Structure 1
Amino acid sequence: MRKQRFIRLLILGLLSAIGPFSIDMYLPGFPDIAKDLHTNISNVSLTLSGFFIGIAAGQLLYGPLLDKYGRKKPMCIGIALYILTSFGCMFATSIEMLIALRFLQAIGGCVGMVGSRAVVRDLFDVTENARIFSLLMLVVGVSPIIAPTVGSYLSAAFGWRSLFMVLGTIGTVILLMVIIWLPESKKADPHYSLYPKAILGKFGTVLRQRQFIVYTISGSFTAAGLYAYIAGSPHVFMEIFGVSEKAYGWIFTIVAAGLITATQINAFILKKRSSAYIISRAVSFQTLTGILLVTGFALNWWSLYASIALCCIFLACQGFTFPNASALAIAPFHENAGSASALLGCIQMAIGSFSTVMVSIFHNNTAVPMGGIMAFCAVTALSVLFLGRRREKVNDTTGSSLLPTENQV
């Protein structure tokens, strides 16, 4: 039984990691992509924005499909699309073509993110969800730890196109694992309607739940701070501080290690404190760190090592925020778990793509745009959490919500 549980969690973690791995691995290849496709890094960063937009849009597609046809069939189709487009990226001949392929790659890959959250809600008790999400972050956390380092060595040795060959191969392995070892956690519902009016009605039921809104928006803005770092860090560390591709990979690994360590500390703290208690304090500390980061960038206070340390602290706060925000957002739902998961992921990625676009728009050859967007996202998350919780009335000791469930809305 324990072995079966481990395999299921491993597969769910890998599904969750498809998106992050697809982002992190190719970051060190930005300079080579720009050179090979005769463009600049600012334009290459739009491939990242396109990926985020694809993930946001795709999750809205998969939510109803997961509730209608069960979990496995839509996941297999989506991963297959991811595999095909990953190999397609190898043959991109222009930045526009790469942006389009990355968008389609995201449409396929995002099924892993929305599907894994829905399966967690299916297979595990709602009181255990935050701890399960923390455990999944062990697998997800491997992505930012090893992906940039692997990507930097692959890019240096074989060129940036090899990165997408590896992503396609990884997708193939995950697809086989899903087919062979992941059980179907929800039977197909022949009565579930895919007509637009019915789908919008399901989404409306989710959006009328205030607990979902508060923790989805707050959690999405903290995640957007992470995406701003992902979009801006290649320029900040490789061009402003002048580190090599390999050194950047190690910097990314160090910063990511802080995030994954925090997720596991979070799992331990959850034995004594509620998700609501943890998230309010994590977002407050992240906000303070973001303000210090952008102030220091603007006034040229921070050295390379100080910048790494502050980014590490900022992202470590995300390790406390993500599992708890996700668990609290989808806790009120069971029948509409797929739709709730889709909306959660869509909103998160839409706000995340906005933050990456802002980093590109405000690009001025300094570290201020990255730091400024990171700080803005943290401040906004704290404001939403503070104002929402004043009306929501969540018990900080038990974490139980006084709000109605989806069947009571």
Structure 2
Amino acid sequence: MTVASPPAATPWRLVFLLGALTAFAPMSIDMYLSSLPAIGQSLKAGPDQTQATLAAFFAGMAIGQFIYGPASDRLGRRGPILFGVSVYVLASIVCALAPNIETLVTARFVQALGGCAGAVVARAVVRDRFSHADTARVLSLMTLIMGLAPVLAPQLGGLIQLVAGWRAVFWVLAIFGLAIGVWVALGLSESRSAETEAQARSENPLKAFAALLRMPRLVGYGLAGTLNGAVLFTYISGAPEVIMTTYGHTPVAFNIIFAFNAVGIIGASQVNRLLLRRTTPDRVLMRASIASVVFALLLVSAAWSGLGGQWTVLPLLFMALSTYGLMAGNTMAGALSVDPNRAGSTSALMGSASFGSGAIAAWISGLLHDGTARPMATIMVACLIGSSLAIFLVALPKGGAKSEA
């Protein structure tokens, strides 16, 4: 029987702050999704052009993390966060004032370049302060806080768009970024260790990334987390079309369904936190990955057969997505445990790969678009099978899933 290490006391103020830092992406994505038709009408842009604002954000999140992760190892955690938040606020203002779709797409890319600092450095801060098992627990708690964004942001964004127009959504995001920046300046102390600084200053970022990619277990966790993240981004990019166009739901109903699926992810992340009181992150990963593949296979079968229509597809989509809450924190904690002195670079590698694969998966889903849920379901099952193989064949240490320090 595997025995988990006793949990450390939970520093709630830090958890809330770090959770808020990881909410930049879901806030920036989910709050404006229901405004895409209005944006297209206002800026005289087609659906492909308005979707480009989402793709640009994904690209910015993927690229920016490669910058902030190594910078946080070399320069400390606070400075890169404050710089990134400042960029985010300024870019949000440009989004609100955008005179055409080209400006909006560019501003969304820059907005992501700034906002990604919060997530990538927050994960490194967690690893600075906690062991492997406690890192997984804290990341699950952060998911609870971050997860409020997909639940509340679509409703808030829809209401703001209805009352004040789509530009007001970006003004609210600018205010959100400013508030988080002040909170970081006043409430986040430096956590980078002297060992991490020495390691970072002894090598350039490319050398650090190359060293990490030579570590098989980190690559295994990274592939598992990346493919798991691709599932989430495939859903985010495909859900508006499937739910509102294919199944004919209104924007209000879409926001409710979107929020309900977010609740599933949040709930699973808290189940994960409770499970980690009795077992290890790796053992949870083993079981959750199997469950994810089972649900995904059922989902793709329902999507292709048409059996039960949306009343079969949507519940199975909920179950498949919920497994993300069991896997995301544990894959990240596992990767961060392999080389703690390169926590910032590891966080950047994991986050960039996740957003990059998400953008690719969303692009492939668009190419395969046929007006049904089939492309989305097919990509999800392929990614989850790949994630499971990475966990069992590469990530898990020989001799089984053991607790790491």
Q: TM-score band, normalised by the shorter chain?
A: over 0.9
- Describe the superposition over 1:346-385 as per-residue Cα deviations: whole angstroms up to 9, x where unpaired: 1111111111212222222222222222122112212222
Find the aligned partners of 1:311 and 1:165 in 2 and give their Cα distance. Answer: 33
Corresponding residue for 1:215? 221
Is residue 367 of structure 2 the alignment partner of residue 361 of structure 1? Answer: yes
Deviation at 1:268, TM superposition (A): 0.5
Which runs of 5 or more residues in structure 2 are unaligned?
Answer: 1-7
Corresponding residue for 1:8? 14
1:345 to 334, 346, 351: 351
Residues 72 and 121 in structure 2, CA contact (< 8 A), matched pair in contact too: yes
Is residue 246 of structure 2 the alignment partner of residue 230 of structure 1? Answer: no
Is residue 170 of structure 2 the alignment partner of residue 168 of structure 1? Answer: no
Residues 303 and 373 in structure 2, CA contact (< 8 A), matched pair in contact too: yes
Find the aligned partners of 2:23 and 2:345 in 1 and give their Cα distance. Answer: 20
Find the aligned partners of 2:255 and 2:321 in 1 and give their Cα distance. Answer: 16
Corresponding residue for 1:272? 278
Change (3 A) 1:4 1:286: closer
1:105 to 111, 134, 140: 111
Corresponding residue for 1:158? 164
SS in 2 for 1:90: helix
Find the aligned partners of 2:114 and 2:201 in 1 and give their Cα distance. Answer: 19
Count of residue pairs brought into register by the alignment: 397
Corresponding residue for 1:319? 325
Deviation at 1:251, TM superposition (A): 0.7
Change (3 A) 1:17 1:370: same
For residue 36 of structure 1, what is the amino acid of its counterpart? S
Change (3 A) 1:3 1:297: closer
The RMSD of aligned alpha carbons is: 2.1
Change (3 A) 1:35 1:372: farther
TM-score, normalised to structure 2, is 0.92
Bigger mean CA offset, 41-50 vs 216-225: 41-50
Find the aligned partners of 2:114 and 2:289 in 1 and give their Cα distance. Answer: 31
Deviation at 1:113, TM superposition (A): 0.8
Corresponding residue for 2:400? 395
Find the aligned partners of 1:343 and 1:223 in 2 and give their Cα distance. Answer: 13
Find the aligned partners of 1:344 and 1:222 in 2 and give their Cα distance. Answer: 11
- Describe the superposition over 1:91-116 as per-residue Cα deviations: whole angstroms up to 9, x where unpaired: 22333222211111110000001110
For residue 226 of structure 1, what is the amino acid of its counterpart? L
SS in 1 for 2:264: helix
Structure 1 segments of 4 or more deviating over 4 A?
A: 187-195
Bigger mean CA offset, 53-62 vs 380-389: 380-389
For residue 403 of structure 2, what is the amino acid of its counterpart? G
Residues 222 and 283 in structure 1, CA contact (< 8 A), matched pair in contact too: no
Bigger mean CA offset, 75-84 vs 91-100: 91-100
For residue 72 of structure 1, what is the amino acid of its counterpart? R
Deviation at 1:301, TM superposition (A): 2.1
For residue 367 of structure 2, what is the amino acid of its counterpart? I
Corresponding residue for 1:32? 38
Corresponding residue for 2:5? none
- Describe the superposition over 1:310-336 as per-residue Cα deviations: whole angstroms up to 9, x where unpaired: 121111100000010000011022221
Deviation at 1:204, TM superposition (A): 1.7
Change (3 A) 1:308 1:153: farther
Corresponding residue for 1:246? 252
Deviation at 1:191, TM superposition (A): 6.0
Percent of pairs with identical residues: 33
For residue 55 of structure 1, what is the amino acid of its counterpart? M
Bigger mean CA offset, 344-353 vs 151-160: 151-160
SS in 2 for 1:382: helix
For residue 7 of structure 1, what is the amino acid of its counterpart? R
For residue 301 of structure 1, what is the amino acid of its counterpart? L
Deviation at 1:4, TM superposition (A): 9.3
Change (3 A) 1:328 1:235: same
Find the aligned partners of 2:341 and 2:348 in 1 and give their Cα distance. Answer: 13
Find the aligned partners of 2:395 and 2:251 in 1 and give their Cα distance. Answer: 43
Residues 132 and 334 in structure 2, CA contact (< 8 A), matched pair in contact too: no
Deviation at 1:187, TM superposition (A): 6.3
- Describe the superposition over 1:265-290 as per-residue Cα deviations: whole angstroms up to 9, x where unpaired: 00001111211111122122212222
SS in 2 for 1:363: coil
TM-score, normalised to structure 1, is 0.92
SS in 2 for 1:335: helix
Residues 73 and 197 in structure 2, CA contact (< 8 A), matched pair in contact too: no
Find the aligned partners of 1:220 and 1:254 in 2 and give their Cα distance. Answer: 23
For residue 112 of structure 2, what is the amino acid of its counterpart? A
Deviation at 1:193, TM superposition (A): 6.5
Corresponding residue for 1:95? 101
For residue 128 of structure 1, what is the amino acid of its counterpart? D
Corresponding residue for 1:55? 61
Corresponding residue for 1:21? 27
Corresponding residue for 1:295? 301
Corresponding residue for 1:406? none
For residue 58 of structure 1, what is the amino acid of its counterpart? G
Change (3 A) 1:247 1:254: same
SS in 2 for 1:220: helix
